[in-house]
Amino acid sequence: MTTCQTIDCILARGDLHALFQPVVALRQGGIMGYEGLIRGPSDSPLHAPQKLLAEAARAGCLFELDLLCRRVILARFAELGLQGHLFLNVNPDVLADRNAVHGMTLQLLKEYGIAPEQVVIELTEQQPIHEYDIMREAVHHYREMGFAIALDDLGAGYSSLRHWSELRPEYVKIDMHFVQNVHNDPVKRHFLHSIKEMAISLGTRLIAEGIETEAEYEVVHGLEIPFGQGYHFARPAANPPRELPRLALRQRGEVSRLRHRGETVAVLAQANPTVPPDQPLGDTVSRFQMEPGLYCLPVIHDGRPVGIVRRHDMLALYSQRFSRELHDRSPIRFFMKRDPLLVHQDQPLEHLSETLTARETIDDEFIIIDGEGRYMGVGRLLELLRRITALQVRYARYANPLTQLPGSVPVNEHVDRLIELQRPFIMAYCDLDHFKPFNDYYGYARGDQVICALGEVLRDALDDAEDFLGHVGGDDFILVLAGDGWRTQCRQILERFSRSVVGFYDEAERRAGGIQSVDRQGNRRFFPLLSLSIGAVLARPGVFRSHLELSQRASEVKCRAKAETGNALFVDRRTTWDPAWTGTGPRRTTKRPLVFLS
C-alpha cells in the first residue's frame, strides 16, 4: 500500500503518529510531564512537522490538521497511561481563530479520560502575533476550562518578551540557543540568569530546552532553573521512559548531601484542609467563614496541587456586589491562583529562603510536595524564618570565618554519619607547605588570599554528589570524597594549585623560586614556593569506629605527604577490606602505602 503523500490524504486517513519527550524536574530528578510531538508518514516528504504545518497552511487546512494532531496525541497519551502534564503544541493562529469550533479539546479529553488540569497548551510561534486582544481572549478561554499555558522558544520568535508580558503564561520554554554550549559561554549564562530572575518575579516556571550534554545540564541545574528537556534525558519516542533512574539517583544523592548540613523543607509541612478543583465557590467561602483560623486551601487533583485559594481573596470577592449570585456554584478552579509556590520537601531551608527573598511578593503560605509532585502539606513563612534564624546561628558558630566553609564540627558529623551508614569514602587531609614563612614575609593579608584561593580550588574539585569540603583551621582543609574518581580529583587539585601559586609572589621572588625567611628555630634560610600536601585515607566499612580514629590516621598520612618535596599526594592503604574474609569483623591486612608526586 502506498503511503499518503499529500496533506488531503493524510487528513483523510489520519496518517499521523505521536512521539513524546519527557520534561524533567531538575531538582527532584523526576519526570513532570511530556511534550506531545507529531510526525507524518515515515517515507513521506511531509514526515517532518515543519513541512506538515507549512503544507497545511498553504492548503488552508491548518485547523483540521491541528485538531487531528490533538486527537492523535491525546489518544496515544491515554493509551500509554502516561502520568504528569501533557504539553500540547498549538499554533496561535488556530488558537485565535474565531471561526474555530470551541469545546473540541474538552470533548477529546473527556473521550480519553484526561483531566484538563493535566494539559498545558504550548503556543508555538510560526508567524508574528498581531491581534493581542483576540489572543488574550483565547488564552483566557482555555484557562477557564482548566488548561495552563506555555510559551515556546523564548528568545527565538518575533516578539517573545511581549508575548510573555501580554499572555502571562504559566510556563516559558527557553530556546535551545541559550542552552547549547552554555558551559563555555558566559554571555549565555548571564542571559539564563536574567531570564530566571524575571521568571521568579512574574511567577512563571521555566523549562530549558535542548539540554544535550552533561556540562549543559550542570550549568542549567546550577542556575536553579526548575525544568529541562533535551536529548541528555531522552529523545522523543513513541513509548517514552516513565522514569530516569540515573538522574533520580543523582538527585537523591545531592539531597542526601545537603540534608546532613541542615534541615529540609519537610520539617515545615503542616496538615491543612484541601479542596478539589470542581468544588463550588460558595462551599469554599462558607468553609473560610466557619473556620477563622483557616488561611488557605490547596486545590488538589489526583493527589497533586494545581492551585491555591486564600482566605482574604475569597472573602474580598464575595464582598463585591452580585458576586454570590454570579459565582456561588462556579467551580473553584476558575478563581484559584494557578501558580502557587511549590516546594520540594527535600529542598534545604536555605535554598527556600533564597527563592522567597528573590520574589517581589511573598505569600504567608506555600505548598510542599514530594519527589513525585504529590501534596505533602502547607508551609508557613513565619516558621521558615524561625528555623532559618536558628540555622544561621549554628552555621555562624561552626563555619570558618575566612572561607565560610564548614568547620571541624560539621566535618566530624559528616564523617561519623558515613561511618554509621557503612559507606566507603576517602578522607583527604590538605595542608600547605612553607605557609608560615610566606605569611611572615608577605603579611597575613596575602596569606589569607592564599587560603581563600586554595579553598576555591578545593571547592571546584567537588565532583560526586556526596563530596564534602571543610576548613578545619589555618591552612588545613578536609576533603571527604565519595566517588571512584578521587585520585583524579586530587591530582587535578595539585596541578591547579601548582599553576596558580606563583601569582601570589612578587616578581623578584618568582624569579628566585622562593623567599628568604626565618624558620621555627630562628634560623634564616631559603624556602621554595608554596606547595600542597594531601594525605588520603581509604575509609572502608568496618575499619574505623568514629571520626576520632580516622582523623588521627589522616593526620599521620598528611605528615608523610609533607615529608615529600613539592606538591604530593600520599595514599595510605595499611588497613584494607578483604572480600575473602568471612568473620564477624574486618580482616586487617598490611600493604605498602602508595605515594603520588605531582
User: Does the pLDDT of residue 246 top 90, yes or no?
Assistant: no
The CATH code that applies to domain 7-244 is: 3.20.20.450
What residues does CATH 3.10.580.10 cover in the chain? 265-389
Q: Which of residues 288 and 15 earns the better pLDDT score?
A: 288
What residues does CATH 3.30.70.270 cover in the chain? 401-597
Q: Which fold has domain 401-597?
A: Alpha-Beta Plaits (3.30.70)
Inter-residue long-range contacts of 446-450, CB under 8 Å, 24+ positions, other chains counted: 446/504, 448/402, 449/504, 450/475, 450/501, 450/504, 450/530
Mean pLDDT of 205-228: 88
Contact 84, 373 (CB under 8 A): yes
pTM value is 0.45
What residues does CATH 3.20.20.450 cover in the chain? 7-244
Mean pLDDT of 321-348: 87
Of the chain, the percentage scoring pLDDT greater than 70 comes to 86
The helix-helix angle for 444-461 and 435-442 (nearest 10°) equals: 140
Lowest mean pLDDT segment, chosen from 53-62, 271-280, 581-590:
581-590
Rounded to whole angstroms, how far apart are CA atoms 483 and 486? 6
User: Does the pLDDT of residue 585 top 80, yes or no?
Assistant: no
The C-alpha angle 95, 78, 235, rounded to 5 degrees, equals 80
Spell out the residues 6+ positions from residue 54 whose beta carbon is closer than 8 angstroms to its own: none
Lowest mean pLDDT segment, chosen from 91-105, 252-266, 318-332:
252-266
The CATH code that applies to domain 265-389 is: 3.10.580.10
Q: Pull the grid cell for residue 577.
A: 577490606
Which 8-state DSSP code applies to residue 291? -
Residue 321 has what pLDDT?
A: 80
Among all chains, which residue has been given the C-alpha cell 506555555? 150
Q: For 551-575, how does the pLDDT look when each residue is reduced to its tens digit (9 = 90+)?
A: 999 999 999 999 998 999 999 876 5
The DSSP result for 1-36, as a single string, is: -PPP-SHHHHHHHT--EEEEEEEEETTTTEEEEEEE
In terms of C-beta density within 10 A (0-12 exposed, 13-18 middle, 19 or more buried), how is residue 173 classed?
Answer: buried
Residue at 158: amino acid letter: Y
User: Does the pLDDT of residue 80 top 70, yes or no?
Assistant: yes
Residue at 558: amino acid letter: K
Residue 395 has what pLDDT?
A: 66
Give the containing element (helix H, strand E) for 499. helix 486-500
